[in-house]
Amino acid sequence: MIHVFTLGEGRSGTRFLARLFARNLPSCTAVHEPLPDLFGACIEWERTGQVERLRRAFSWKQRRIATCRSEVYFESSHAFLKSFADLAVEAWPDLKLVRVVRDPRQVARSYVHRWEMTDAARIPFRICREGEGAPFIRWALTGREPIFADLGFEPTLFQRYVVQWIEVENRAARFLDRHHKHADCVTLHVPPDLGDVDRLRAMFGDLGLEPRSQELVLPTRRNVNLVPTVVTEEDEAAFAQVVRALPPAHLDIFQHPPYSDYAWSAVLQ
């Protein structure tokens, strides 16, 4: 079985990709944030190095995946870099990756809208109380990672998601270097590449996957918020404050591809 995971932050087309894989590969189990999803407490365990607790939680995922009878297993989840990436490559050394990169201002604003809807609906278990620090949003970093201390001030919710995006992208770069996975990773710029049939067809080819037809079927539904994602002037100012405050070590990767290929990367220089 070929195992493929997404590498990147949420609100970046990951559900779309799961539907794309399911519709176009002849023998594929494609899932988006399946249970056990390894958010919440697992993110804190990863942060604090509680490897055995994390390993026990991951073993449930590993056993579930082993029951799949398809030739390809595709999972889109931003928990990958937040909790279980190293365990996944330990379990499946030949795994492949689809790296998704979206303008961080749009990611942060979309996250804020999604959290406001989630909180208003009082979704159960939306707050995680694992560890001795302050509770945190179940699908987010804890806020106790070193990058938040390096920021030097208490961020707004929007700024917290900006910092999270920066941390996740740095984790992606370190993961690819540490496990020598650059050759097994395809990068998509979101949203333009998700509507580019030629780019998506090339993605399948680069991953060594053969769609059932040359005519790809693109999903018609997207995981959108009820409120359109519009970055305001206030958001721009808040974003610039984060970039000014963070030490250069957190921002150095954005001077290089793939980020330097995108016009919006100038705001991170």
Position 221 pLDDT exceeds 70: no
Q: How confident is residue 220, by pLDDT bands cut at 50, 70 and 90?
A: confident
Matching CATH number, 2-216+225-268, of 2.60.40, 3.30.110, 3.30.70, 3.40.50: 3.40.50
Q: Coil, strand or helix: which one is 253?
A: helix
Please choose, from the candidates 243, 251, 79, 266, the residue with its C-alpha nearest in 3D space to the C-alpha of residue 169: 251
Position 222 pLDDT exceeds 80: no
pLDDT tens digits, one per residue of 51-102: 999 999 999 999 999 999 999 999 999 999 999 999 999 999 999 999 999 9
| The CA-based dihedral angle spanning residues 46, 4, 169, 50, taken in that order and rounded to the nearest 10 degrees | 0
User: How open is the CA angle 155-158-162, to the nearest 5 degrees?
Assistant: 85
- How much is the pTM? 0.95
Q: What is the DSSP string of 179-245?
A: TT-GGGEEEEEETGGGG-HHHHHHHHHHTT---S-SS----S-----SS-----HHHHHHHHHHHHH
Position 224 pLDDT exceeds 70: no
Position 158 pLDDT exceeds 70: yes
Position 226 pLDDT exceeds 80: no
In whole numbers, what is the pLDDT of the chain averaged over residues?
Answer: 96
What length is written for the chain? 269
Task: List the chain domain ranges.
Answer: 2-216+225-268
- Percent of the chain at pLDDT > 90 equals 94
